[in-house]
Amino acid sequence: MSEEHVILVDEHGSAVGTQEKMQAHRDGALHLAFSVLLYRDGVAGREYLLQQRAMGKYHSGGLWTNTCCSHPRQNETFAQAGIRRLAEEMGITGVTALTDIGDFIYRADLDNDLVEHELDHVLVADAADIAVVPNPDEVMAYRWWPEADLQHTMTAEPALFTAWFPQVLVMVLAAR
C-alpha cells in the first residue's frame, strides 16, 4: 500500500506542497481537510448523522464527530473526496452531491502526540433515505442525533466530541 499524503497549504488555502500524512500530523503542518455532515428533517426537526470514531483510529478514537472526514487527494475536488470517504468510512453510497458551505482553520493538540492543523472545508447534504453500513476499522457506532439534543450534549459534555466538530456544527447551523 502506498503512503498517503496530504496537501500542505498556506493560511489563504494556496497549495505549497505535499507531505506524508502521519508526518504532517506529527509536525502540525497546515494541510487541507474536509468534514462531511449529513442531515435529515424528521418529525422532531433536523437530525445529523454522527459517527463515533473507532478506538483504533490514529487519533481521537471513541469520540463523536461529523458523518465522515479526511483529506482530499491531489486533483480531487472536496465533493469527490467527501463522496469517496462516505463510502469508505460509513458504507454510504446514496449521496451523489455535497455542498461546500465554507471553511475554517483550526489547530488542536491531540492524543498520540499528534497535531491537527487543518484548513477544513465543511460539506453538507440532505440524506433522508440512505443505508449506513459503517467500516468497523473506522467507526464504532453511529446515530442520527436531533439538533437540540446534540447542542445540549455538546455543552454539557464537550469531551465526548472531536476537537474540530464544534466549529463544523457552528458553520452548519449558520448556513441553514
The per-residue pLDDT for 2 is 61
Mean pLDDT confidence for 26-45: 95
Mean pLDDT confidence for 74-92: 97
Q: Is 118 annotated as a binding residue?
A: yes
Q: Is 59 annotated as a binding residue?
A: no
The per-residue pLDDT for 97 is 96
pTM of the model: 0.95
The per-residue pLDDT for 44 is 83
Catalytic machinery residues: 69, 118
> Can you point out the beta strands (E) in the chain?
5-9, 15-20, 31-42, 45-53, 64-65, 68-70, 99-109, 115-126, 139-146
Q: Is 31 annotated as a binding residue?
A: yes
Percent of the chain with pLDDT over 90: 91
CB-count burial class (<10 Å; 0-12, 13-18, 19+) for 56: exposed
Question: Could you tell me the pLDDT band of residue 176, with boundaries at 50, 70 and 90?
Answer: confident
Domains of the chain, first to last: 5-175 (3.90.79.10)
Q: Is 157 annotated as a binding residue?
A: no
Better-predicted residue by pLDDT, 44 or 92? 92
